[in-house]
Amino acid sequence: MDTQALALALPLIGWASHTALLTHRLATARRDPLTGLRTRAGWTALAERVIRRHSDAVVLLLDLDDFKNLNDSHGHAAGDFALAVTAERLANWCGRHHGIAGRLGGDEFVAIARQAPDLESLQRALNQPVAHAGRRLPVSVSVGSCHVKDLPVRNLSDALATADCAMYAAKGTAGRRGTRTLHR
């Protein structure tokens, strides 16, 4: 290869390498490193698309109950393990129900299903103990949901706010945590 062709090719090779690196960084920034679920940004873009295309979509907001106590009593490694297992269970459930799961941060997860899902099967899947370091750790998850068709205007922001209210209502129930759906 002559020097003139090399001089022309090097910037193109550099540009292609830089583009590949940026694409990789963007893709990994849309995934939570602990759970592998989509981050808020990655999940939001997909969820907004689902809401536009599917009038029966249901938005779910999920929160682990007493997570601070789990971390304090069993250590952060146990807490991280519980988060990873919860994420895997949620992702598996979403896969069976044409949904998309994400992690908002901390012990808060989010999901959207294209049509009304079986929330009882989700509760059963999530509220199972987790085996870690020879111990069975209790895991309980409160779930709030919002059917977007019940909103005056179908948008993700209002659906999340409604699901959030429903989740906190579920946290307030006695006994095993449950699911709630609130309508505005």
Catalytic residue among 107, 118, 150, 158: 107
C-alpha count within 13 angstroms, C-beta hemisphere, residue 18: 6
Write the DSSP assignment of 69-97 as a string of letters. HHHHHH-HHHHHHHHHHHHHHHHHHHHHT
Cβ proximity of 38 and 31 under 8 Å: yes
Cβ proximity of 81 and 70 under 8 Å: no
Q: Could you confirm whether 107 is annotated as catalytic?
A: yes
Q: Which residues are tagged catalytic?
A: 107
